[in-house]
Amino acid sequence: MTVDQQSTQHSARPPATAPDLLLSSGRWELAATGGRLLRPVLAPRPVDEAHRIMDELRRVERGTGRAHLLYGLIPFDLREPACLRMTDAVVCRPRRWRAADGAPPRGASEPARASAPAAHQDPEYRRGVAVCLNHLGSGALEKVVLSRCVDLPLPEGAAPSRVAEALLERLAIRDHLAADVYCARDSRGRYWLGASPEVVADVHDGRLMTLPLAGSLARRRVEDERRADHLLHASGKDLHEHELVVEHIGAALNGFVHDLDVPVSPSLVATDTMWHLGTRITGRLPDGVSALEAALRIHPTPAVCGRPAAEAARLIGELEGRSRQFYAGLVGWTDSTGDGRWSLVLRGARIGEASVRVQAGAGIVPGSSPRAEHDETGAKLSTMLRQLRGLLPIAPGDAGDERATGA
């Protein structure tokens, strides 16, 4: 696809009005605005539905004589409507944000305080983990990913768009090149934004890359390297959790992707608060297959749902008691050549007219414990809660209590 590539000056501020999609990955960012809204239900045959949508995208291009992009949000539960748009209003440009003082952003080698917010202790979440462990013990399930959320009010008179723009700037500075920083607006005008460490499908000239993460450990300033080494080599629970995800993706792509390369062992992936086990899987897509189709062949993986998927999703619905909507779904874009990038909607927030929701989950497998999974989700929540300080009325201690995990 041909898009405008602008060599814009680096700036410490985002645009005055956020586009409908901004996705910063690597050293580039893509912004897309407006276009025809699609709300397809992708289940029960998501790959076939994706193929139909791609055919429609190419038909629109032929009819208008202009290159178009398909972009937007795909829900965790594919039985719910997606929020996708087709537009020719697209800009691809060098990534524009940097630390305002010119100092290099904090690297992955320097852990932030990874901690569970003291004001967000959640006994109900611990009970949910215990229920999951009972199901795992019965042999019906191998893994369940259970999440919890924190809802915070917007200050009176605060415009959601301004809060989104300010938070987006903070995330872009903090995460620099280490994550996909995203901001997408759904059909109800709510903003979904965050810094996702997990790429589900990146396609360029037919080459596919997916980077599943599963198995996590909160980072600490003390003995951080030792803890990382334990996660990579000695944590049987986390290595098993990661293996389930890699097996799922390998089975989904085997016989479909050419030259499939699945490393036998994971590597460490660092964010400022977490260590993750990650495996970079690559291959070559058949001619005519798009990034959207590849992503939907994989999604949802056991990294955000569980295994078996149907049974895990049913239990998630019972225990969480609400739709995840686009949390743990996909955000990204695809062009008519099939190139594109789709990442998980994680490590972020949903900003509505009156409130902000922050959500985080943890994978539960045999060997998990209610306390450990509660602490892990607390560490993940604390990343976004700290970024919201000064934008929302967060009480002292809400964004992390170092005593909770000994950070």
Residue 75 in tokens:
């829900």
DSSP 120: G
- Torsion angle of the four alpha carbons 115, 120, 126, 128, in this order, in degrees rounded to the nearest 10: -120
Residue 271 in tokens:
């964010």
The Cα–Cα gap between 12 and 100 comes to: 6
The Cα–Cα gap between 378 and 175 comes to: 19
- DSSP code per residue over 36-56: EEE--B--S-HHHHHHHHHHH
The Cα–Cα gap between 231 and 37 comes to: 43
- DSSP code per residue over 285-308: PPTT--HHHHHHHHPSPTTTSEES
Please give the span between the terminal C-alpha atoms of the chain, in angstroms, as a whole number. 46
Residue 188 in tokens:
């109800």
Active site annotation includes 198: yes
Judged by DSSP in three states, 153 sits in strand
Strands 21-25 and 69-74, by their bridges, are: unpaired
The Cα–Cα gap between 271 and 108 comes to: 6
Active site annotation includes 143: yes
Q: Which of 29, 165, 198, 320 is catalytic?
A: 198
Are 245 and 298 spatial neighbours (Cβ–Cβ below 8 Å)? no
Are 177 and 27 spatial neighbours (Cβ–Cβ below 8 Å)? yes
Distance of CA 12 to the CA centre of its chain: 24
Phi and psi (nearest 5°) for 186? -90, 180
Phi and psi (nearest 5°) for 127? -65, -40
Are 152 and 394 spatial neighbours (Cβ–Cβ below 8 Å)? yes
Are 336 and 57 spatial neighbours (Cβ–Cβ below 8 Å)? yes
Q: Which of 143, 169, 320, 373 is catalytic?
A: 143
Phi and psi (nearest 5°) for 277? -90, 130
Are 294 and 209 spatial neighbours (Cβ–Cβ below 8 Å)? no
Residues β-bridged to residue 355 = 153
- ∠ CA 9-12-15, nearest 5°, is 75
What amino acid positions are annotated as catalytic residues? 143, 198
